Amino acid sequence: MRIWCKLFQKNHLMEDVVIENYDMSMTRTQKVYASLEEACYELNLEKPLWLDKNKREFIRHARTRFTQDNFIEHIEYDYLDFQVIEEDY
């Protein structure tokens, strides 16, 4: 699985990172959470909270946006875009 995380501010891409996780012992959900944690570490962000809206978007489109509402601390960006770009089968 490959996940692309992008930080946007005023509709401009400020930073991004691609996380790869091909650990076949993990479920898809475990890979998603582990990838989000690794991306946040790479981007120097705290882990966002998964709200119901994010869960629904991610289930439907394999993509979601984490805005300030998802973070406890203030973030300097408008949102974090979290998208699966390659699934393992």
pTM: 0.91
The total number of structural domains that make up the chain: 1
Contact between 57 and 84 (Cβ < 8 Å): no
pLDDT on residue 89: 66
**pLDDT tens track of the chain, all 89 residues?**
999 999 999 999 999 999 999 999 999 999 999 999 999 999 999 999 999 999 999 999 999 999 999 999 999 999 999 999 999 86
Please give the span between the terminal C-alpha atoms of the chain, in angstroms, as a whole number.
Answer: 9
Q: What is the pLDDT of residue 59?
A: 95
- Residues of the domain holding 80: 2-86
